[in-house]
Amino acid sequence: MHRRGDPFTYFKPGVEDRIMSGTSDYGELFAALQKANPNVDMGCVLDPGGKVLFTAGGWDLTADAEKVLKTWKEHGPRLEIQGTGYSMLRSEPESLVSTNLAKKGSVVGSITKGGNFFIAHLLPTSVEQAGKDYIDVARTAAKMK
């Protein structure tokens, strides 16, 4: 439940009702996520069929969307996006955490309230930090339709 003053809420007063019921204003939510967590540099929302609903940070997953979702759903060992490979650390129906061993960042994902897939690219940090950053991404996804 959202409470005013909650340190984990990234949204300004006046939009709580809309956000708590889920919003498709992905741009607003992504901007708030980036402000709260500067490790998140790009993001994308995909529908279950792989159609791109939103993209930010110049990250166009159109060519890789179906393959990314298939790898996620089948718990594949390796994710490939735009020619960069990411080793899968966790692949569950509701969550995805992967990292590039050559320090090209991490890719994490979570299911939105509306059943879409929110995928974010993280700047290169430690594997432990990627896991912590996933939590912020998952919280944001929970506010999306």
pLDDT of residue 3: 36
**Backbone CA torsion sign across 57, 65, 25, 132:** negative
Predicted TM-score (pTM) of this structure: 0.83
What is the fold of 39-141? Beta-Lactamase (3.30.450)
Q: Is 50 exposed, middle or buried (0-12, 13-18, 19+ CB in 10 A)?
A: middle
How confident is the model over 47-105, as pLDDT tens digits?
A: 999 999 999 999 989 999 999 999 999 999 999 999 999 999 999 999 999 999 999 99
pLDDT of residue 131: 87
Q: Which amino acid is at 110?
A: S
pLDDT of residue 22: 52
Q: Would you kindly state where each structural domain of the chain is located, as residue ranges? A: 39-141
